[in-house]
Amino acid sequence: MPDQKISPDALKVWRIGAVIEFLVFALVPMAYWWLSNQVEFLPGWILYLIIAAYLLYGIFNTVLFPKWQWRRWRYKIYENEVELLYGILIVRRVIIPMIRVQHVDTEQGPLLRHYGMASVKITTAATVHEIPALEESKADEVRDHIAKLAREADPDE
């Protein structure tokens, strides 16, 4: 089983992202309120239901989900493969053979950059896998290590 954890600061980044998403989704109850003032046949109780669902979603998405997600996220780099374990309700365990790795890079958005973190993206022919929110130096180290192991695993070289 993978035993490497991502940065604890991932919680801050995920929570800030969830707050931004929460504020954007505030448009839904506001749009219904505006529409109910324009059209007479829309029931008012639906607005209260939408607001309650919106607030519950905000609490879960901002407070609980990031903590559960961080606790579950694990990765491990072996000589022949990279193993990822993540998910809250649906737990995914992904094994990426080094021979399938096409390239590896790091990525930073503004929030990750602010907290000195980066994500490692592992690209195969089929998809892109991500190890999110590692300290910047650790992300560079992981990227270089996977790239080195992928080069060694390549039978064409």
Residue pLDDT, tens place only, 100-118:
999 999 999 999 999 999 9
Q: How far apart are CA 118 and CA 135, in angstroms?
A: 6
Q: At 142, which CATH number?
A: 2.30.29
103 lies in the same domain as 128: yes
Number of domains in the chain: 2
Residue 24 belongs to some domain of the structure = yes
114 lies in the same domain as 64: no
pLDDT at 139: 97
Q: Confidence band (pLDDT; 50, 70, 90) for 29?
A: confident
- What range does the domain containing 23 cover? 10-69
pLDDT at 72: 94
Residue 93 belongs to some domain of the structure = yes
Please identify, among 48, 69, 90, the residue that sits at the C-terminal boundary of a domain: 69
62 lies in the same domain as 126: no
80 lies in the same domain as 139: yes
80 lies in the same domain as 64: no
88 lies in the same domain as 49: no
Mean pLDDT score, 63-71: 95
Residue of 3, 13, 4 whose CA lies nearest to 116: 13
Please identify, among 20, 51, 69, the residue that sits at the C-terminal boundary of a domain: 69
Model confidence pLDDT, tens digit, residues 83-96: 999 999 999 999 99
60 lies in the same domain as 127: no
137 lies in the same domain as 102: yes
> What residue type is 128 in one-letter code?
V
pLDDT at residue 41 tops 80:
no
Residue 3 belongs to some domain of the structure = no
106 forms bridges with which residues in the sheet? 120
23 lies in the same domain as 81: no
Residue 5 belongs to some domain of the structure = no
